[in-house]
Amino acid sequence: MPTVKPNKVKEAIAKIFHNSLDGFGLKEFEGIAIDEALYIVNRNDGKYYIQDLLAPDQYRVVYDNQKQKGHPEEIIRQLWVHKLRAGYQYPADRLAIEKSIHFGREIHAKKADIVVHKPDQITPYIIVEVKSPKEAKGIEQLKSYLNSEGAEIGLWSNGNKHIILYRPYPKEFDDTLPDLPKADQTVDDLLEAKKTLFEYTSAKMDLREIIKNMEELVLANSGVDVFTEVFKLIYAKLFDEVEARLHRPDNEVQFRKYKDTARTYQAINNLFKQAIKKWPSTFYEQENVNLSPEHLSIVVGELEKARLFGSDLSIIDEAFEYLIPEVAKGKKGQYFTPRHVISMAVKMLDPKRDEYVIDPATGSGGFLISAMYWARDQHCKSSDEAMREYAKERVWGIDFAEEISKVSRALMLIAGDGRSHLFKLNSLDPREWQGEDAQLLDARSKLQTRLLDMGNAADNTENRRTFHYFNFNVLLTNPPFAGEVKDPGLLRQYNFGKKNGRLVNKIERHILFIERCLDLLRPGGRMAIVLPQGILNNTNAEYIREYLFERARILAVIGLHQNTFRPHAGVKTSVLFLQKWAGEPLKDYPIFMAVSKKGGKNNSGDYVYKKMPDGSNMYDGKGRKVLDHDLDEIAEGFREFARREKLNFV
């Protein structure tokens, strides 16, 4: 009998899953004590074996040391067996592993990973198909199994995520379920049961994966604009969560899948219409959800699993980044700024509770949201109510892209209702701010309150007409890099639009943004701006650097890692920190400079997370994976530098 080293679960899992896309690749089973649920032994033949939970006297190979090859799908399969028994209460005599699939009278070579039978222990009820964490496909295979076996429910899982399909036999597949029914439930019971807001978790929810599932199931072939329809659903869900939290008994949610598809559509569309009334200016009152009741029912079955309020906003930001079509991203040079870059910039500039903050290229609102949270935690005694008041009064944003301005409004809603001063405008060209449209009138009226007092009536009148000089304390932005400005009327408004007294033919958009940002700041105001590295070291950009020295103190230059903006762009970028001169410029002063060596992403643009000694992901106190980057240390280094140099804002 070979020597057996008992229950080597963690050791085997570390070997099998260490190089998966998500650490261990077992997100589905967080909350389960895996080393207690499974039994793995290491025999002296150099292989690890896992005990079959449905046949305890049988063991299956899960890792071969000699070949350095693992079978992660076997781990995932046994964990689903455990979950079906312990979580869904199915008895062992209703479960089977590796059941052959029949097509008519033929027995197919394929075998279903797990089959849950009806109480008669013969008729297939649920078919589970498992894959390794790196596999993202298998839905069509599962559908074929459901069709051939006449099973009603299918579950596909790769350990990180799952999709549940519902096929009310003998109909074709046409629906999804939000969860599997328990052993003592019918599908109707599951769909009719009341749901409450706090049944859904937010800490480790992956909204991007949920949306990708929705696309694979129906959206890609539904004939609708995916971004717009998903955005409507998120808007409706936000409203539903607010109502459930504040006004409904037992925090009951209405954004959910019902037994009848027509009822599901009516409930979701009604929530959307109510959301428009509560939060106007994002959608028109006459708009409706354009998905068919059948398609909507499938989508809702996926989306209802998420809880948006209370979520880590980076999760939601990533989902919107995935949704924004290419025309609104790379072709206009707009890339969502990674949250760890934003956090560094906010920490270094330290916006105070009484300071006005603006981002003239708001995007998804990341800089503004981070400023709100910073003010709450550092200057508002961690009061959410104080943060909301701060956001309504002090937080301002401008962006010209329709899709992205909607995103920022939604994210500000989630963060704390900082929508009061978000405007869909072209930051570079105040000529476009004119007009009698209600939104333009509202924007001009509010923006006039932040104009700089020029010291005399004539200049103030001119400034009210041109919207040239503003009075903001802090500016944080990542302007679009791509594209050139050729409009003479726009170029005429800028110093950079002229050379040797003559109008230039064209200039890159981000160069005009540098000048515009300085004009938005009051004397003594400070800013952080993401720029192509060439602005700071190319010979032909010397005139830009000279201009900066004349108008502001260079506080810091932080070189970002080349992977920071992957997969959208690999251009080298830096974050430039300035403080606008309030008096005579200094001729000689120190500048803080640093280069990031750990960008938090790999060459493919996937986020990289810190690992524990056993190879598992490291989590922070809020249950979020800890990104592997060095920008926090750089920010702390700058703050120490600022205190030493007696800069007046730290």
Q: Is there a domain that residue 208 lies in?
A: yes
Residue whose entry in the numeric block shows the structure tokens 């312990």: 86
Does an H or E element contain 240, and which?
Answer: helix 226-246
d(CA 302, CA 177) in angstroms, rounded, equals: 8
Could you tell me if 501 and 604 lie in one domain? yes
d(CA 342, CA 528) in angstroms, rounded, equals: 10
Q: Give residues with Cβ within 8 angstroms of 232, minimum separation 6.
A: 272, 283, 287, 289, 290
pLDDT tens-digit map of 337-370: 888 999 999 999 999 999 999 999 988 788 988 8
Does an H or E element contain 448, and which?
Answer: helix 438-448
* Domain-ending residue, one of 250, 282, 303: 303
pLDDT in the model for residue 311: 63
Average pLDDT rounded to a whole number, residues 290-317 = 78
Could you tell me if 507 and 567 lie in one domain? yes
One DSSP character per residue, 357-420 reads EEETT-TTSHHHHHHHHHHHHHHSTT-HHHHHHHHHHHEEEEE--HHHHHHHHHHHHHHT---T
Indicate if the pLDDT at residue 189 is higher than 70: yes
Average pLDDT rounded to a whole number, residues 54-63 = 91
Q: Is there a domain that residue 278 lies in?
A: yes
**Structural domain tally of the chain?**
4
Q: Is there a domain that residue 256 lies in?
A: yes
CA distances from 206 to 316, 401, 487 (A): 8, 26, 43
Q: What is the dihedral of CA 233, 238, 240, 245, to 10 degrees?
A: 160
CA distances from 401 to 423, 425, 468 (A): 10, 8, 21
Average pLDDT rounded to a whole number, residues 476-497 = 91
pLDDT tens-digit map of 266-299: 999 999 999 998 887 778 889 999 998 888 888 8
pLDDT in the model for residue 597: 96
* Domain-ending residue, one of 158, 174, 192: 192
Range of the domain at 638: 335-644
Query: What's the CATH code of the domain at 369?
Result: 3.40.50.150
Indicate if the pLDDT at residue 329 is higher than 80: no
Average pLDDT rounded to a whole number, residues 509-532 = 96
* Domain-ending residue, one of 41, 72, 103: 72
d(CA 80, CA 363) in angstroms, rounded, equals: 41
Could you tell me if 246 and 359 lie in one domain? no
d(CA 301, CA 233) in angstroms, rounded, equals: 12
Could you tell me if 148 and 219 lie in one domain? no
Could you tell me if 598 and 507 lie in one domain? yes
Helix (H, G, I), strand (E, B) or coil at 2: coil
Could you tell me if 121 and 243 lie in one domain? no
pLDDT in the model for residue 203: 45
Q: Is there a domain that residue 475 lies in?
A: yes
Q: Does residue 351 have a cis bond before it (omega within 30 degrees)?
A: no
Query: What's the CATH code of the domain at 154?
Result: 3.90.1570.30
Is residue 14 very low, low, confident or very high in pLDDT (cuts 50, 70, 90)? confident
Could you tell me if 288 and 379 lie in one domain? no
Does an H or E element contain 552, and which?
Answer: strand 552-559
Indicate if the pLDDT at residue 497 is higher than 60: yes
Could you tell me if 40 and 121 lie in one domain? no
- Pick the more confident residue, 134 or 423: 423
Helix (H, G, I), strand (E, B) or coil at 513: helix
Average pLDDT rounded to a whole number, residues 206-219 = 76
pLDDT tens-digit map of 564-597: 988 777 778 999 999 999 989 998 999 999 999 9
d(CA 460, CA 452) in angstroms, rounded, equals: 8
Q: Is there a domain that residue 86 lies in?
A: no
Does an H or E element contain 41, and which?
Answer: strand 40-43
Q: Is there a domain that residue 154 lies in?
A: yes
pLDDT in the model for residue 85: 96
Q: Is there a domain that residue 345 lies in?
A: yes
d(CA 15, CA 50) in angstroms, rounded, equals: 14
Beta bridge partners of 126: 116, 153
d(CA 36, CA 38) in angstroms, rounded, equals: 6
Using the Cα atoms of residue 369, residue 371, residue 377 and residue 382 in order, give the sign of their dihedral: negative
d(CA 205, CA 210) in angstroms, rounded, equals: 9
Is residue 51 very low, low, confident or very high in pLDDT (cuts 50, 70, 90)? very high
Q: Is there a domain that residue 313 lies in?
A: no
d(CA 68, CA 65) in angstroms, rounded, equals: 5
Is residue 620 very low, low, confident or very high in pLDDT (cuts 50, 70, 90)? confident
pLDDT tens-digit map of 88-137: 999 999 999 988 887 655 555 678 899 999 999 889 999 999 988 766 66
Q: What is the dihedral of CA 408, 413, 419, 422, to 10 degrees?
A: 0
Could you tell me if 151 and 203 lie in one domain? no
Max Cα–Cα distance, the chain, nearest Å: 98
Average pLDDT rounded to a whole number, residues 25-34 = 82
Indicate if the pLDDT at residue 414 is higher than 80: no
d(CA 340, CA 630) in angstroms, rounded, equals: 9
Could you tell me if 247 and 232 lie in one domain? yes
Indicate if the pLDDT at residue 611 is higher than 60: yes
pLDDT tens-digit map of 65-95: 888 888 889 999 999 999 999 999 999 999 9
Could you tell me if 183 and 207 lie in one domain? no
Average pLDDT rounded to a whole number, residues 154-177 = 78
Could you tell me if 149 and 260 lie in one domain? no
pLDDT in the model for residue 96: 93
Indicate if the pLDDT at residue 3 is higher than 60: no
Average pLDDT rounded to a whole number, residues 11-27 = 67
pLDDT in the model for residue 22: 43
Residues in the chain: 650
Strands of 470-520, DSSP E? 472-477, 484-485, 498-499, 502-503, 507-508
By C-alpha distance, which of 355, 327, 577 is closest to 477? 577
pLDDT in the model for residue 21: 37
